[in-house]
Each structure stands twice: as C-alpha cells, then as structure tokens.
Structure 1
Amino acid sequence: MTKVNFPKLAYCYIIVFIAMVAGGYYSNFAMLNWYHSVDKPLLTPPDSVFPIVWTILYALVALAFYLALSNEKSDKKRKKLNSWFLGLMFLHVLWNYAFFFNGYIGMALVVLIAIDILSYMIMMEFWSISKSPALLFFPYFVWILFATYLNAAMINLNGYIIMIE
C-alpha cells in the first residue's frame, strides 16, 4: 500500500475547495437575483441537485488530481498537470462569474467549451499516468458536457445576456 502524502493531498483539495467556494458565491448571487425568473431547458435538474452533485464531483476530481500527481514520476509532467488543473479551476470560477454573477450566458458558454477541452486533455493525461485518476475524473467530464448542453439551451431560450436588475 502506498503511503499517503498528506501535504499533497491537502493541496489538491484546497485548490478545488477554493474554486468551489468562489463559484458558489457567484451562483448564490444568481439564485437570489435572476436564475428563477428565466426559462430553463427541460432537462435542468432541481436546484437541490446541483450542490450535492458538485460536492461529490469536486471531491472525486481532487482525489483524481492527487493520484495523478502521486503516480507521475516526471517533474515536468507533474508541473504541466498542475498548471492545467489550476487553469481548469480558474475557468470554473470564471464560468460562474460570467454565467451567474453577470448573466453573460453566451460568454459563459465560450468559457465552458474551454473547460470541456481542457477537461478532456486532463482526463487523457490522467489516463496515460494511471487509469484510476482518469476513471475518477470521468463523471465530472460527463457532467461538464451536460452543463454545456444546459448553458447552450439557456441561450436558445433566453438570449446571450440575462438582464440583471
């Protein structure tokens, strides 16, 4: 059994936690201001589902990141993974800011497509290191693709910008 590197594990979870809290701040703003007043796609889950799903997915993603960093022997590849992962978390916060805080759902879709691409790249990089982190990351990737559908469908129903008063 491999010994757990607690500082590395904490780092992985702290990075994800920061993104989760920042994103939650912006999404809470929308819930209080505009989200309930706009048309949503038919497949939109109930509001109560999102925090549960995101908490589980973020926990899986942090664990996947930890396992990939722990199993990768190359410093260069670990640094690349770290920068990609930090970029992914930044894009998550940016998406929440664009979508929920500003109502720029068209711009948010552009950010979400970047998240889709970077997520796929990270998942493939995880796969090349070990199958376990890639498999832990996969549910997140599927959910992100679903979020892309929801974002695009909201544009179709409401336009590119939600007017926030």
Structure 2
Amino acid sequence: MPQLAVPSIMLEAVRNPIFAVGLPLTLGWASGFPTAKVVREPWYQNLNAPPGRPPRQVFPVVWPILYASMGYAAHVAAKSLETTITPSGRDALNTGLVIYYGQLALNFAWSPTFFGAKQMGYALADSAALLGSVLYMTKLWDGPTRGQTTILLAPYCLWAAFATYLNGGYWYLNRV
C-alpha cells in the first residue's frame, strides 16, 4: 500500500514554528471574520440554541488558542520526522500531516458553511468529519512524538467534540 506523504512544500512550511502557528491562525481569522457580523443578525439571534452554549464572546478567545496549539503540534510532528527511525513512526507522522492539512480545510470551511450559507446540516457533516480527522491525527502522532502533540491537541479534540454537539443541537432544534 502506498504511503501517504505530505508534499515537501507543506512539510517545510510546518517545520518553521512561526509559519506553523501562523497558518491556522490566519486561516481561522479569514474564515471567522464574517461571523462577527452574522451573529448579530436576526437569523442567528432567532435560532434555538442547544443547552450549554457558551456566550458568543468565548469563541474569539478559545479558537486562537486552539489554532496556535494545533499549529505548534504540526511543527512538533514535522520535526519528529527528522528523528523517527521506525517505518511505522514515519508513516504515522506523514499520514497525520496529510490529515492535518485536510482538517485545516474542514475547519476553514465550517464558518462559511454554517454562518455564510446558513447550511447547518452541511456544517454538521463538516464538523463530524473534522472531529474524526482531529481524533485520528492525534492518535497517529501520539507515539512518534512521545505524547507531546497529544498534550497540544487534547483541548482541540475536546472543543471539536463540543462544537459538533453545538452544531448538531442547532441543526436539530432549528429544522424546518
């Protein structure tokens, strides 16, 4: 079976810690920027919210921390490729890096899907795929990084699960 490998330009990008952290922060800002306006509009204000929804002011605080943490985890994984000698460890790191970029795309797509297109069902599918990819990526990177990436990604895993619950709650409570 062919090994998944991230293209060299993408691998080199996350080897640089500043770029590794800056990429998800920039993508998150670009994706979420229009959200600030939508959450003040009647469409969002009139939605039935699921139990446990935090105040909207929590999200712009939590997400940048998670983006920085996930970016640094990708940096740790990329740097671990230099020292990991087992084929299984290298495969796990490479596959995890491919998944990392895929989950960035899913993460980037969520806000425009939920808030921009107002498609809660599609956003829920995106969120579920995002959660699955983040959990699997975390599992893949755990051994080869001796748990360093797991510590960085655990809050993201928990928040992605919570965000999927919220998205599912919004979808369920506001079906037409």
Q: What band does the TM-score fall into relative to the shorter chain?
A: 0.7 to 0.9
RMSD: 2.2
> Which of 13, 17, 31 pairs up with 1:9?
17
Residues 1:27 and 2:42 aligned together:
no
Letter of the 1:67 counterpart: V
Question: Structure 1, residues 74-108: CA drift from partner, whole Å, max 9, x if none?
Answer: 67655433322111111011111110111100110
Q: Matches of 1:110 and 1:96 in 2, distance apart?
A: 13
TM-score (normalised: structure 2): 0.80
Match of 1:134 in 2: 150
Identity of aligned residues (%): 25
CA distance in 1, matches of 2:58, 2:100: 25
Moved more, 109-118 or 53-62: 53-62
Q: Is the CA contact (8 Å cut-off) linking 2:103 and 2:130 kept in structure 1? A: yes
Structure 2 unmatched ranges of 5 or more: 1-13, 85-89
Per mean C-alpha deviation after superposition, the further-off stretch among 52-61 and 68-77 is: 68-77
Residue among 108, 132, 136 paired with 2:123: 108
TM-score, normalization by structure 1: 0.85
Please say if residues 93 and 141 of structure 2, whose CA atoms lie closer than 8 Å, have aligned partners that are also in contact. Answer: no
Q: Give the number of aligned pairs.
A: 156
SS of the aligned residue for 1:85 comes to helix
In structure 1, the gaps of 5 or more residues are: 1-5, 161-165
1:93 maps to a residue whose letter is: F
**1:9-88 to 2 correspondence within 5 Å?**
9-33=17-41, 34-73=43-82, 78-88=93-103
Does residue 1:150 correspond to 2:166, yes or no? yes
Shift of 1:145: 0.3
